[in-house]
């Protein structure tokens, strides 16, 4: 394993020299990609032993990292560690990533910043929580700080992922698609994070950058809930299976055999029934897909079992349960008065009844699916962790 530090820079001439000197103090190999800076950032590195690459114009941080990836490969490297040039990170923490890479050579290592410091505004803490939440919805992977850009990447991962963005959304894309592709994501605590409030002048470039990241995140979220497998570059369970409209039977088999351990199938079935019981009209499928993505469950099974809750049987049971909790007796009259004029009352009773019956139905269906799949699984396919 050979690691090189990569520092993409755009107009950070005041903080770049100190960061590069600090990086050279802890590691011999450093690449600086000047992404079209207009403040002569590259001139501040005169006399320093770094690999300097210049973009004639600003192409974006993602493009700078891609350029550094190709350069690192030519230099015989296997991993890069990226550090922002804005002075928020301390290059002395590089050794934490180097140690983590030795232990997990095929993983992406993400830094975990210390946000317990009083100078970090609550808005930034909430923003990090929100980013972590949506990342888990998109991938089912729980990370503490997906917005931290102090990271270690295996070059093989960056080279094999299909990465289409080249600006700030690049780091969102690479982490999400790596998780989809089966790449392990690990974290290390970093200690040298210095929060700095940067005042951004509102201009069209700043607005478009933020809009671009927001729209791309929405795209990733929508893609994640589609019950269609993602391309794998690392498969832990079985060789990669092709998905194609030209092979519908193989495609259906792949969809149905994704996350198929007995516990996963039981949980997916329970989830589908639980959400299907709730009176969220027209939103059941969307809610199931989001939840299945969040918990990394089989989307097809979850959607299929929710079909058990279609009207009238399950809604009627929930209404009866809710009516009983409100009035101490069951609803026996079915008329235009009880179902028409009193529709809001029935919906309310459906809601409170579903809160009681949804867990019961979920446990029942999940238990049945677990027993069936456990029975049908071949003995050689069941593995217990020691």
Report the alpha-carbon distance of residue 171 to residue 167 in Å, rounded. Answer: 8
The region of weakest confidence among 54-68, 191-205, 301-315 is: 191-205
The torsion defined by the Cα of 90, 98, 61 and 128, in degrees rounded to 10, comes to -70
For residues 187 and 263, membership in a common domain is answered with no
- Distance, CA of 114 to CA of 100 (rounded, Å): 18
Cα–Cα distances in Å, from 236 out to 182, 258, 286, 305, 324? Answer: 7, 12, 28, 27, 50
* Confidence at residue 260, expressed as pLDDT on a 0 to 100 scale: 66
Residues 216 and 266 in one domain: no
Which residues, at least 6 apart from 292, have a Cβ–Cβ distance to it below 8 Å?
Answer: 225, 268, 271, 298, 299, 302
Q: Which residue's structure tokens are 């918990």?
A: 295
| pLDDT score at 240 | 44
Q: How confident is the model at residue 242, as a pLDDT?
A: 46
Which tens digit of pLDDT belongs to each residue from 29-76?
999 999 999 999 999 999 999 999 999 999 999 999 999 999 999 999
Does residue 352 carry a pLDDT above 90?
yes
Token pair for 295: 């918990």
Same domain membership, residue 45 and residue 173: yes
Residue 243 included in any domain:
no
Distance CA 120, CA 225 (A): 33
Confidence of residue 197 (pLDDT cuts 50, 70, 90): low
Domain that holds residue 289: 259-381
Residue 252 lies in a domain: no
Report the alpha-carbon distance of residue 180 to residue 380 in Å, rounded.
27
Number of domains in the chain: 2
pLDDT score recorded for residue 166: 86
Order of strands across the sheet that contains 3-9: 51-55, 30-35, 3-9, 79-82, 151-154, 108-112, 185-189
Least confident of 138-142, 293-297, 363-367: 293-297
Please list the helix, strand and coil fractions of the chain in percent, rounded to the nearest 5, in that order: 55, 10, 35
Buried b / exposed e over 331-370, threshold 16 CB at 10 Å, is beeeeeebeeeeeebbebbbebbbeebbeebbeebbeebb
218 with 273, same domain: the answer is no
- The helix or strand, by DSSP H or E, that contains position 32, with its residue range, turns out to be strand 30-35
pLDDT tens string 314-328: 999 999 999 999 988
10 Å CB burial of residue 192 (0-12, 13-18, 19+) is middle
Mean pLDDT, the chain, whole residue set: 84
Chain length of the chain: 386
CB 33 within 8 A of CB 84: no
Contact 83, 89 (CB under 8 A): yes
Least confident window among 148-152, 290-294, 374-378: 374-378
Alpha carbon dihedral 65, 66, 72, 73, in 10-degree steps, equals 160
Chain centre to alpha carbon of residue 244? 25
Q: Is residue 386 part of a domain?
A: no
Quick one: which of 24, 32, 171 has its CA closest to 110?
A: 171
| 3-class SS of residue 142 | coil
101 and 182 fall within a common domain: yes
CA–CA distance from 158 to each of 78, 152, 229, 248 (Å)?
A: 11, 11, 20, 30
Domain end residue (candidates: 225, 248, 271): 225
Quick one: pLDDT at residue 121?
Answer: 79
Q: What percent of the chain has pLDDT over 70?
A: 85
Residues 216, 284, single domain; the answer is no
Whichever domain contains 57, its CATH number is 3.90.550.10
The confidence band for 21, taking pLDDT boundaries of 50, 70 and 90, is very high
The pLDDT-based confidence of 170 (bands split at 50, 70, 90) is very high
- The pTM (predicted TM-score) of the whole model is 0.71
Predicted pLDDT at 250: 53
Mean pLDDT, residues 258-284 taken together? 86
Are 89 and 32 members of one domain?
Answer: yes
Per-residue pLDDT, averaged over 288-308, amounts to 86
Mean pLDDT along residues 128-150: 91
């Amino acid at each position: 394993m050979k690691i090189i530090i990569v520092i993409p820079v755009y107009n950070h001439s005041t903080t770049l020299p100190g960061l590069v000197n600090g990086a050279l103090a802890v590691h011999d190999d450093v690449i600086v990609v000047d992404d079209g800076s207009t403040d002569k950032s590259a001139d501040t590195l005169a006399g320093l032993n770094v690999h300097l690459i210049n973009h004639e114009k600003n192409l974006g941080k993602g493009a700078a990292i891609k350029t550094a990836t190709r350069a690192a490969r030519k230099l015989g490297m296997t991993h890069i560690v990226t550090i922002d040039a804005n002075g928020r990170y301390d290059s002395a923490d590089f050794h934490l990533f180097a140690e983590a890479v030795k232990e997990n050579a095929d993983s992406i290592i993400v830094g975990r910043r210390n946000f317990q410091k009083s100078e970090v505004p609550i808005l930034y803490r909430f923003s990090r929580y929100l980013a972590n939440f949506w990342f888990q919805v998109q991938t089912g992977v729980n990370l503490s700080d997906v917005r931290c850009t102090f990271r270690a990447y295996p070059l093989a991962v960056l080279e094999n992922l299909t990465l289409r963005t080249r600006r700030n959304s690049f780091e969102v894309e690479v982490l999400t698609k790596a998780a989809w592709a089966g790449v392990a994501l690990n974290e290390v605590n970093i200690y040298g994070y210095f929060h700095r409030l940067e005042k951004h002048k509102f201009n069209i470039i700043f607005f478009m950058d933020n809009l671009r990241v927001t729209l791309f995140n929405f795209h990733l979220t929508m893609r994640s809930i589609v019950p269609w497998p993602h391309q794998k570059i690392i498969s832990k369970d079985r060789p990669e299976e092709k998905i194609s409209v030209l092979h519908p039977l193989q495609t259906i088999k792949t969809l149905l055999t994704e996350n198929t351990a007995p516990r996963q199938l039981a949980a997916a079935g329970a989830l589908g029934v639980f959400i299907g019981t709730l009176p969220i009209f027209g939103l059941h499928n969307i809610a199931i897909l989001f939840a299945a993505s969040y918990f990394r469950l089989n989307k097809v099974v979850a959607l299929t079992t929710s079909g058990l809750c279609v009207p009238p049987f399950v809604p009627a049971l929930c209404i009866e349960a809710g009516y009983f909790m409100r009035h101490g007796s069951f609803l026996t009259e079915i008329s235009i008065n009880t179902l028409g004029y009193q529709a809001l009352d029935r919906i309310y009773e459906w809601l409170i009844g579903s809160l009681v019956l949804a867990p019961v139905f979920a446990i029942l269906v999940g238990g049945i699916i677990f027993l069936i799949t456990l029975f049908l699984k071949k003995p050689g396919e069941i593995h217990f962790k020691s």
